[in-house]
Chain A
Amino acid sequence: SAVISQKPSRDICQRGTSLTIQCQVDSQVTMMFWYRQQPGQSLTLIATANQGSEATYESGFVIDKFPISRPNLTFSTLTVSNMSPEDSSIYLCSVRERSYEQYFGPGTRLTVT
Chain B
Amino acid sequence: GQQLNQSPQSMFIQEGEDVSMNCTSSSIFNTWLWYKQEPGEGPVLLIALYKAGELTSNGRLTAQFGITRKDSFLNISASIPSDVGIYFCAGARQGGSEKLVFGKGTKLTVNP
A and B are partners in one complex rather than unrelated chains: yes
Q: Which residues of chain A have a CB within 8 Å of any CB of chain B?
A: 1, 4, 31, 33, 41-45, 48, 58-59, 92, 94, 96, 99-107, 109
* Interface contact tally, CB-CB below 8 A: 56
By the criterion CB–CB under 8 Å, are B33 and A100 in contact?
yes
Spell out B's residues near A (CB within 8 Å).
Answer: 1, 3, 31, 33, 35, 40-45, 48, 50, 88, 90, 92, 98-100, 102-105
Q: How far is the CB of A15 from chain B (nearest CB, A)?
A: 24
Chain B residues near A42 (CB, 8 Å)?
3, 88, 102-105
Contacts of A1 in B (CB 8 A): 45
Closest Cβ of chain A to B103, distance in Å, is 7
The one of A59, A103, A104, A109 in contact with B1, judged by C-beta atoms closer than 8 angstroms, is: A59
Q: What separation, in Å, do the CA atoms of A44 and B102 have in the docked complex? A: 8
- Enumerate chain B residues within 8 angstroms of A103, measured Cβ to Cβ: 45
Contacting pair A107 B42 (CB below 8 A): yes
Closest 6 pairs between A and B when the two form their complex, measured CB to CB = A104-B42, A100-B92, A100-B31, A42-B104, A107-B42, A42-B102
* Distance in Å: Cβ of A74 to nearest Cβ of chain B: 18
Please, how many angstroms separate the alpha-carbon atoms of A57 and B50 in the complex? Answer: 27
Q: B89's closest neighbor in chain A, by CB?
A: A42
A105 and B42 contacting across the interface, CB-CB below 8 Å: yes
Closest chain-B Cβ to A41's Cβ sits at a distance in Å of: 7
Given contacts A43-B102, A100-B31, 9 further A-B contacts (CB under 8 A): A4-B42, A31-B98, A42-B88, A44-B1, A92-B43, A100-B33, A100-B48, A100-B92, A100-B100
Contacts of A58 in B (CB 8 A): 1
Asked if residues A104 and B44 are in contact (CB atoms below 8 Å), the reply is yes
A-B contact pairs, 18 of them (CB 8 A): A31-B98, A42-B3, A42-B104, A43-B43, A43-B88, A45-B100, A48-B98, A96-B98, A99-B92, A100-B31, A101-B48, A102-B33, A102-B45, A102-B90, A104-B42, A104-B43, A105-B42, A109-B40
